[in-house]
Amino acid sequence: MALEDALLDILVCPIDKRGLLYFADDAVLYNPRLRRLYRIENDIPLMLARQAVPVPEEEHNQLMKCARRGEVTRITAGQGDIGAGDLARQPVDGQPGLADQHDRAGKP
């Protein structure tokens, strides 16, 4: 079962207080800035900082690729934090982020 929109509207990372990527199919919330994964068990997000799982580079790259392909269910509170910065500009596997590619081509 997916998390309710009302919860996602207010849910932020307990460490940096910014939005998260929500992958409903994997039952996780992900902070790409800090590379921390928060698990969802029995429809309850485990949001204590000490419960955050550090994500290695390879897994981070995979999560970001999935997000770019639209496989992220939703971005939680603070959507601008991730949409403008982390998801669009963050390089993956040495490739420029989406915004960087557009900047070079001179298109928005």
Domain boundaries in the chain?
5-102
- As beta bridge partners, residue 30 has 21, 37
Cβ(17)–Cβ(76) below 8 Å: no
Q: How would you classify the pairing of strands 53-54 and 74-75?
A: unpaired
**Per-residue pLDDT at 98 exceeds 70:** no
pLDDT in tens, 30-66: 999 999 999 999 999 999 999 999 999 999 999 999 9
For residues 62 and 90, what is the distance between their CA atoms, to the nearest angstrom?
13
For residues 5 and 68, what is the distance between their CA atoms, to the nearest angstrom?
21
For residues 63 and 55, what is the distance between their CA atoms, to the nearest angstrom?
10
Record: fold of 5-102: N-terminal domain of TfIIb (2.20.25)
